[in-house]
Structure 1
Amino acid sequence: MRSGLVGFALLGHLVGFLASATPLTGGNSTKRSPLDISLPPLIPLIPGVTEPLSENAIPLPILQLPTPPLPSEPFTPSQLRPKKIGYFWTGAGDNKHADFLATYSLDDDTFGTLIDITDVPSSGNSPHHLGVSTDGKTLVGGGLLSLLKTQDTAFYWDVSDPYRPKFAHSNRGILSSIVDEIRAKPDGGFFITYMGSAVGTSPGRLIETDASGHILHEWPEDVGGTLNILGEQFSPHGLTIDFEKNIGLTSDFVVPLSILKPTLGIQRANTLRLWNIKSRTIISTITIPAGEGIQDVKFIPGNKESAALATAVGLGQVWIIYPFRKDVHGKQGVAEPLYDLGPAARKSMAIYSDISDDGKLAYFTITLGNHVAALDISDLNNVKRLDDPDVVQPIIGPHYVKISPDKKNLLVIGYFVQAGDISVLNTPGDFKAHWLDILDDGSIQFNRTIDFEQTFTTSRGGARPHSVVIFDLTDPKNPVYY
């Protein structure tokens, strides 16, 4: 009954907001676009009144009570100015305190020093992926479960001062929700995959924003593209773009609503979409048979055929996508198996990846297999595994992975998703950021960790770091944001 009332309240807010929204009428207009909305809290923060409501709210079947976050404990920022910085998009462990951006030093001598904490004005978002603008001044992170509390789903921070991030604003789309992968546009703004519809079903959308983070479009908008995503499950998670070659790939993972109880089972996809980036239209659908969730896809830097690597979670395999080749029927885009990651990777729920900027090394996190795999892909006809798949690594639930800008380290986060009693998706994690050394041959060696659970146990009921952006300011004239 209460979840129905919450849904009704959301509908009322949304209808009222859209009724007052005015479309953009020109390039210099400051009027709000209906594609860029931000819903006010359904239950505003009233000190001394709403705290008990937040602390005692019980899980509802799907929609959750839209309670404001509990007040955060005071924090004194560090005066340290490291050259290497890690920004971690992190959820409060109790789902009651505010979710936050944690800024840490990644320098050798001060590694793991907490520099600053920047709250967002909501809780229970289940922070997901994080991205950075081309100029390094803006971060954007998504909430996997923001929709369930009728909250905005994308959060933006101003990092013009890299040591003092400031929360800028949040927003949400009209047609889509469940923010996933983020890619910066060269001229400012972002492309972002939203894995689900506005109610968490299929189809999702490919979102485009301007440099200020305001939503411009929810693609596809053409008839052919709309029929394409309505005809076959469109739940885009992975995203990779080659702006010079005018192509992009999105990979379809799972229908978000199907991870919530009651469910007949998680609905996994076997497809990727090949895009014409200039026209923002879908060229073709590429299928990986029995892939059971194509979580991630990334172009191989420098590859002459613009090939990309895609992770087929059900198969536990890496596939290679050739976007300009045609199949026997003349359809553009061909998928071929490249490498089997072994038994520990099959049905591992999540396999995420990163590829070195010279296109020679690739790293894969096998979430339920508790393993990070390393491949030498310098010769795609003779891929070599650089890790021992039988060695027990000191990590639980590895998911998000990034190669450091100087290519000396690999940053892996030991946490994927724990959606709680309302969900069938609760993967084990150690809630640590693991700093691995990349050895001369490309293999990896575990080194140091940042323990989020230990740091935030008393202040926020623990912490759930999901993703990271790395700044390397070693050379002030040539900063690197990744």
Structure 2
Amino acid sequence: MIDPAKVDQPKTSAFADEFITTPDDGFLATMMGSSTGGSPGRVAKYNKDFKLVGEYPDPKTYPDVPGLNPHGIAVSWTKNVMLTVDFLVPASTLKPNIPVLWKTVRLWDMNTMTIKETVNCSALGVNGPMDAVAIAETGAFYFGGGDGNIYYIDANGKAPHTPVVAWDTLSGSTNRASAGNILYSFRSGTRLLVSSYTTDQVQLLDTTKPKKPKLLDTLKFPAGAGAHVVRLSEDEAFGAVATYFLDEGDVGQVVLPGDMTLRMFFLNDKASKFVVQNPSKSVIDFKTVMGAKGVYRVHGVVIL
């Protein structure tokens, strides 16, 4: 067990959101905000001993990076390229502020840990993109647009790089309200899980043709459950979904608590269908399971 007091803390950024392991057994973490909840945030890099290697882009060289509030992060290690997506300014969600959601994604050079291209996606309708995943080691990525769409962007070749709509999670609905979409891309790059908080479900897509995914199956939850983080086991046969997103209470403007459960499932041997073997035992209700300790809000999932 690591003593939190012995983990180096970032000097200029805060609000850790997503983590991704590095080939040397360290990890990268998106720090969505500045130390005061504003902008810019950074990407923090740690070694295997939990020592802070740096915050990027380097604050000394790049003291101000307008609109850099990274939430989702994905890396193609063989292509030395990273994608981060700018979600929102954390402090702006508190009353009486007006929430500031961004419409930009960033392509990075992993050799220098610098941003090589900022892609403005406003013309596409992107509004508060939250998550990104690599499509195997192809140098291409998916990201959720905050508008119900999943976008495909290929980082290969010269700039400018233009995302395209790959999948509509809302099936053409005129109500484009979308929040909390978290993605999981299989190591093969041929399958994608897409959680949808607003529609209480997880979709399983065939991404063999990455620009034209096909829906294989849908795992539907009760209304109000609010599917958020979805993750799989190492063998990609067992998964879990955390349904809590964020409830800031009276001080904030984000009130999306979901039903605060952990919902488990299996995939069949072809990874083409969800299997819930025992529905009554597939749900852990964190509103009651901890007894006198009270309600727990499960925001993330790691399967060991």
Same fold (TM over 0.5): yes
- Is the CA contact 1:457–1:463 (under 8 Å) kept in the aligned structure 2? no
1:148-185: CA deviations, max 9, x gaps? xxxxxxxxx44xxxxxxx76744532211100111122
| Corresponding residue number in structure 2 for 1:401 | 230
Aligned to 1:361: 191
- CA distance in structure 2 between the partners assigned to 1:175 and 1:287 by the alignment: 25
Between Structure 1 and Structure 2, the one with more helix by share is 1
User: Structure 1 residue 252: deviation in Å?
Assistant: 0.5
Task: Measure how far apart 1:426 and its partner are.
Answer: 1.4
* Cα separation, 2, equivalents of 1:425 and 1:287: 25
Cα shift at 1:302? 4.4
Q: Secondary structure at the match of 1:437?
A: strand
Secondary structure in 1 matching 2:289? helix
Q: Which of the pair has the greater relative contact order for Cα pairs under 8 Å at 6+ separation?
A: 1
State the match for 1:370 in structure 2: 200
Equivalent-residue separation in structure 1 for 2:150 and 2:28 (angstroms): 24
Contact 2:71 2:131 in 1 (8 A): yes
Q: Report if the CA contact (8 A) 2:76-2:137 is conserved.
A: no
Matched to 1:421, the amino acid is D
Aligned residues between the structures: 294
Q: Which residue of 1 aligns with 2:22?
A: 185
1:316 to 148, 160, 166: 148
Distance 2:174 2:246 in 1: 19
Consecutive aligned runs of 4 or more in structure 1 exceeding 3 Å deviation: 166-171, 222-227
> Secondary structure in 2 aligned to 1:238?
strand
| AA matched with 1:298 | V
Matched, 1:432 2:266: no
Q: For residue 262 of structure 1, what is the amino acid of its counterpart?
A: P
Q: Distance in 1 between matches of 2:220 and 2:174?
A: 11
Map 1:90-239; keep pairs closer than 5 Å: 157-158=1-2, 169-221=6-58, 225-226=62-63, 229-230=65-66, 233-239=67-73
> Deviations 1:343-368 (Å, cap 9, x if unpaired)?
39832222111011111111111112
Matched with 2:127 is 292
Percent identical pairs in the alignment equals: 28
Query: Structure 1 residues 467 and 345 mapped into 2: Cα distance closer, same or farther (>3 Å)?
Result: farther
Query: 1-side partners of 2:108 and 2:242: how far apart?
Result: 30
Name the CA shift for 1:425/1:198 in 2 (closer, same or farther; >3 Å). Answer: same
1:325 to 134, 153, 157: 157
Q: 1:431–1:465: 8 Å Cα contact kept in structure 2? A: yes
Q: 193, 210, 222: which one pairs with 1:380?
A: 210
After superposition, what is the alpha-carbon deviation per residue over 1:451-472, rounded to whole angstroms, capped at 9, x for unaligned? 222111412x21111112222x
Partner amino acid, structure 2, of 1:412? V
Q: Is the 8 A contact 1:236 1:253 kept in 2?
A: yes
- Please give the secondary structure, in 2, of the residue aligned with 1:321: strand
Please tell me whether the aligned partners of residues 323 and 332 of structure 1 are also in contact (alpha carbons under 8 angstroms). no
- Looking at structure 2, the residues matched to 383 and 242 of structure 1 have their Cα atoms a distance apart, in angstroms, of 20
Give distance in 2, aligned partners of 1:366 and 1:345. 14
Q: So what's the TM-score if we normalise by structure 2? A: 0.89
Alignment of 1:271-286 (within 5 A): 271-286=104-119
Query: Using the alignment, how far apart are the partners of 2:212 and 2:110 within structure 1?
Result: 32
* SS of corresponding position for 1:254: coil
SS at match of 1:387: strand
- Asked if the contact 1:318–1:340 (Cα under 8 Å) also holds between the matched residues in 2, the reply is yes
Shift of 1:381: 4.5
Shift of 1:340: 1.0
Deviations 1:212-233 (A, max 9, x none): 2122211112777555x23xx1
Cα separation, 2, equivalents of 1:310 and 1:415: 21
Question: What value does the CA root-mean-square deviation take over the aligned residues?
Answer: 2.2
Report the equivalent of 1:42. Answer: none
Identify if the C-alpha distance between structure 1 residues 387 and 213 changes in structure 2 by more than 3 Å, giving closer, same or farther. same
Partner-residue secondary structure (3-state), 2:253: coil
How far off its partner does 1:288 sit?
2.1
Quote the offset at 1:283 in angstroms: 0.5
Residue aligned with 2:91, SS: helix
Does the C-alpha gap of structure 1 residues 251 and 214 become closer, same or farther in structure 2, counting only changes over 3 Å? Answer: same
Judging changes above 3 Å, is the alpha-carbon distance between structure 1 residues 297 and 392 closer, same or farther for their aligned structure 2 residues? Answer: closer
Aligned residue identity for 1:386? L
